[in-house]
Amino acid sequence: MIRFSINRKVVLCTVIVCILAVAVIGAKFQIIETFQGEKIHYDKNITTYGIDIDFDPVERIITGNEKVKYTNQSNTTFNALYFHLYPNAFKKQDTVPFEKNEMDRAYPKGFEQGYIEIQDVQKNNEPLNHVVMGIGDTILKVNLKNSLEPGEKIELDIKFCVKIPPSYGRFGYGEHTVNIANWYPIVAVFDKKGWNLEPYHSIGDPFYSDVANYRVEVSTSNEYVFAHTGKCVKKEKVDGKIRWTLEAKCVRDFAMIASENYQSMDDEIDGVKIFSYYFDDTFGDLALSCAKDSIKIFSELYGKYPYKEFSVAASDFFIGGMEYPNLVFIDQSLYKEEYKEILEYIVVHEVAHQWWYGIVGNDEVNEPWLDEGLTEYSTLLYYEKKYGKEKMNEVYKNLIAKPYHAYESRHPNNKNGVYKSINKFENAYEYQALVYHKGAMFIKELRKKLGDEIFFQVMKVYFDKYKYKNANTEDFLGVCEKVSNQSLREEFEKWLSYEKE
């Protein structure tokens, strides 16, 4: 994610000279009728989600069923499985994932509840005992009648109902769009720490998931345009409703965004179809060209974007930009002349997350710096590759170094720990200064220390070794040390206050 306050918007507008060349691309959105095999080699034990839902556009309620096939890939016997129920954070004002001073912008028409109700959990047509628990009821615990041994598979059917709130965040609806993200029961990650059952924190992107395969069928009575993770393999009329069949392989989450008023255009780069969904032609085109150029640049720098599609969607999202696999949400109010430099920066930042968070995953709750630091620095690399070093230095100075030093001078006694959990940061301001700015400054320093050749080799090896997996700071340090053949632990400790757990 990246957030831009009004102040930051004003600062950026006054310091960056626009040197963007905007090309007009007029191709229109087309439904892809058949699924073409993607060259993704995935583990046969990968979790699969088959989700079949009906979306009521008037009440903004989703009802449906989720079939989850899960394999215990740990060495531990499980007596229960855990799922995140993120929509329940929207039930009460004290658990919504917004800071207090953001509530007016998050709910411009006033607070109303959003939630997910678990109606039934079954295995082989037999009900399983389950309990909704955790802060804000954001965890579903399914008690298994028989234990699930290492290597064993299980198939569960979860019946659920989701109410979408009038919120301008990741999950909610506004005047232009319905943002459907973090909306279904998603299996929690089991790692060496055990089950990861963190609630929906208001700072950062508090998510942590394994890659999975998805087939999502959505029926609705409205003529919506959907932007989504994965590919549309079928769009048909069934019983007077429109039914979309969407498929995605090896992705960390599945998000959608719907609008009755979307315009769209598309383009292609190296076999990847890129879509831009928007409400204004000029800036829809700008978002498309930034996505196209950044996908090309990051594919060359790190390793190829492995999916067939990518979408940039303007949305009622007051925070700035948010990444999901194959899909990013961008605040629609930034599609304006005065914000076009910010629009570019945000689109590129969210595209970079496709590599850092999306393909190479990490625990965004406990080590958020890892994807945000790499993503912010990747955004700078886009400016370097597209416009040259001078432009990159200018963007670095204005968007990273200046705001970081302003923070530092206001908080001279802060220990400046970059490596810490999102719930240890005081507020979004401190989080941004340390995780984004200092995180990117550290990667910049690392490049200087290693030299360009080794640094870019490190990034390629890190991407290749951890794609479709979750990595942590120790894994990243390990690749840096191995490729460069030098000890870097002290650098990590000094810059990040990193301590090996």
Binding site for Zn ion (CB under 5 A): 1-2, 372, 375
Other beta carbons within 10 angstroms of residue 464's beta carbon come to 12
Given the complex with Zn ion, which of 213 and 326 has the nearer CB atom? Answer: 326
Judged by DSSP in three states, 15 sits in helix
The Cα–Cα gap between 188 and 129 comes to: 18
CA angle 132, 196, 130 (to 5 degrees): 25
In the bound state with Zn ion, the residue whose beta carbon lies nearer, of 2 and 255, is 2
Nearer to Zn ion, 1 or 313 (CB): 1
Residue with tokens 């990590």: 492
Which CB atom, from 47 or from 375, has the smaller least distance to Zn ion?
375
CB-based contact 320:3 (threshold 8 Å)? yes
In angstroms, the CA 128 to CA 118 distance is 12
Least distance between Zn ion and beta carbon 169 (Å): 15
Among 30, 68, 116, residue whose Cα is nearest residue 215: 68
Q: Which residues of 339-359 are buried (b: 16+ CB within 10 A; e: fewer)?
A: bbbbbbbbbbbbbbbbbbbbb
Q: Which is nearer to Zn ion, 343 or 483 (CB)?
A: 343
CB of 418 to Zn ion, least distance (A): 14
**Cβ of residue 150: shortest distance to Zn ion, in angstroms?**
35
Considering the complex, what minimum distance in angstroms separates the CB of residue 247 from Zn ion?
26
CB-wise, 353 or 467, nearer to Zn ion? 353
Asked if 157 and 65 count as a contact pair (C-beta separation under 8 A), the reply is yes
Q: How far is the CB of 428 from Zn ion (least distance, A)?
A: 12
- CA dist 155 and 158 (Å) reads 10
Closer of 367 and 372 to Zn ion (Cβ) = 372
Least separation in angstroms between residue 45's CB and Zn ion is: 30
CB-nearer residue toward Zn ion: 306 or 368: 368
Instruction: Give 117's contacts (C-beta < 8 A, 6+ positions apart).
Output: 160, 161, 162, 163
- Of 251, 218, 223, 221, the closest CA to residue 233 belongs to 218
Give residues with Cβ within 8 angstroms of 390, minimum separation 6: none
Question: To the nearest whole angstrom, how small is the minimum distance from the Cβ of residue 435 to Zn ion?
Answer: 9
Task: Work out how close the CB of 192 gets to Zn ion at its nearest, in angstroms, rounded to a whole number.
Answer: 25
Are 255 and 180 contacting, i.e. CB atoms less than 8 angstroms apart? yes
Which residue(s) pair with 311 in the sheet?
275, 327
